[in-house]
Amino acid sequence: MQKLKIISSAFKNNERIPSKYTCDGIDVNPPLKFQNIPNGTKSLALIIDDPDAPMGTWVHWIVWNVNPTEEIDEDTVPGVEGINDFNKTSYGGPCPPSGIHRYFFKIYALKTKLDLNSNARKRDLEEAMKGKIIAKGEIVGLYGR
C-alpha cells in the first residue's frame, strides 16, 4: 500500500495541538495538507480519534468524499461528515479529562467515492472503505489540559 503524507501548519507530528483547535479554544478543525496522493484517487476519507480515552478509542471526526486535490482548511467541512463520539456530525476537538492524549489524524486515498449517509459512524466508514484504499497516512497530535 502506498503512503500518503499528511501535514498541518498548526502542529508537527507528535507535537502539541494548539488549544485553538480543542474544547478549550474555539474548537475548529486544524488545517491539513496531503502529499503523494496516488493517480486514480477518486476521494479521500479522514478519521481523527484518540486511543488514550478512558472508555476506549474516542472518535473526534470522520469525513469522506473529500476532493483528492484539496487541502482541508481550518474550520471547514471538506466532505460528508459522519457521527463522532460526541454524537454530532461535526469536528469535536481534543478535550481529554486528564493527562496528555494522542490524537491520530488518519487520511485514506480511495479508488471510489463512498455511498454512506451522514448517520454513519467510524465502523461504518471503515467497513465501506474495505478493498478501496490505495494509500494511507497519519499524523499524531498531542494535547493535555
- pTM for the model: 0.96
If one counts every other C-beta atom within 10 angstroms of the C-beta of residue 40, the result is: 12
pLDDT tens per residue, range 7-42? 999 999 999 999 999 999 999 999 999 999 999 999
Residues of the chain with pLDDT under 50: none
Alpha-carbon distances of 117 from 15, 52, 62, 77, 81, rounded to whole Å: 34, 28, 12, 15, 9
**Is residue 31 a contact partner of residue 20, using CB atoms and an 8 Å limit?**
no
Domains contained in the chain, number: 1
Q: What is the CATH number of the domain that holds 27?
A: 3.90.280.10
Q: Note down the domain range covering 72.
A: 2-144
